[in-house]
């Protein structure tokens, strides 16, 4: 989660166990608690066929910043500066109009642009407007995922810490008029997630990480670490990670490890 000091393990403990992490900022704990509710909202909006509107934008921000900011769900009423950015965010008085125009633009261009390009460009323009005092990036990514999910794409879970540098670079390139890098980055993220889903669907041999560890030189703990970091195409059901035989073979071949298992 953007700017959080929580590790992946700590974030998971907050979400799954409701645990409060000592000596960590309360804001980071609340952010971890809020995020699953916001994602549930995305799923419900998609299931109901709800179009993207200004009200949806404000609702998502409310969920993301609940109990963190008093102005959750409200546009900022003051000027802001973005550290390291080469652009100046919109004046606060222009924000409502610009957000409405951006939402209308997305609706008009659904047939003109590919889903990935539409969602990526919307994301970049939204961040440039910077409509809220805090939580702009998180809200922008949720909206981007909503747009893609409405058009049949999966939730892009793979913008990980490992990818953060490319993500920021993509936004900076777009600031200078080169949107292709950011669009391609989002497309690759979507492709990676689709591969994970397709492997899970098409490959009948699904292993728990404990079972996978017995077929490889790696421990269950190490495979779990790879899964959490997005290094292997594992997927989670409940509290357990699973991996397909095909994906396990791919990783073993890629790393040149011995003992590569073969599909039965």
Residue the block writes with tokens 């990526």: 120
Scanning the chain, the segments in alpha helix (DSSP H) are 8-17, 26-48, 54-65, 95-108, 115-129, 136-150, 164-175, 180-202, 209-213, 220-228, 245-255
CA distances from 189 to 100, 162, 186, 193, 230 (A): 28, 12, 5, 6, 11
Of 148, 59, 174, 51, the C-alpha closest to 103 is 51
Residue 235 CA, chain-centre distance (Å), reads 15
Catalytic residues: 130
């Amino acid at each position: 989660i953007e700017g959080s000091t929580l590790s992946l393990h700590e974030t998971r403990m907050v979400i799954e166990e409701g645990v409060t992490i000592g000596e960590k900022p309360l804001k980071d704990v609340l952010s971890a608690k809020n995020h699953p509710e916001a994602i549930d909202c995305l799923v419900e909006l998609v299931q109901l066929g709800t179009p993207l509107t200004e009200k949806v934008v404000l609702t998502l921000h409310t969920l993301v910043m609940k109990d963190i900011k008093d102005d959750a769900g409200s546009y900022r009423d003051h000027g802001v500066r973005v550290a390291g950015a080469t652009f100046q965010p919109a004046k606060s008085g222009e924000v409502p109009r610009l957000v409405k125009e951006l939402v209308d633009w997305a609706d008009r261009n659904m047939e003109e642009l590919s889903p990935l390009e539409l969602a990526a460009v919307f994301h970049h323009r939204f961040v440039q407007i910077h409509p809220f005092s805090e939580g702009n990036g998180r809200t922008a990514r949720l909206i981007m995922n909503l747009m893609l999910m409405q058009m049949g794409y999966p939730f892009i879970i793979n913008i990980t810490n490992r990818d953060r540098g490319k993500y920021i670079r993509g936004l900076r390139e777009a600031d200078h008029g080169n949107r292709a890098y950011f669009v391609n980055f989002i497309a690759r993220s979507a492709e990676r997630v689709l591969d994970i889903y397709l492997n899970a669907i098409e490959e009948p041999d699904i292993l728990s990480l404990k079972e996978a560890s017995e077929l490889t030189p790696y421990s269950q703990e190490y495979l779990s670490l790879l899964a959490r970091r997005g290094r292997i195409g594992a997927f989670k059901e409940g509290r357990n990670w699973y991996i397909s035989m095909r994906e396990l073979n791919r990783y073993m071949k890629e790393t040149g490890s011995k003992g590569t298992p073969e599909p039965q």
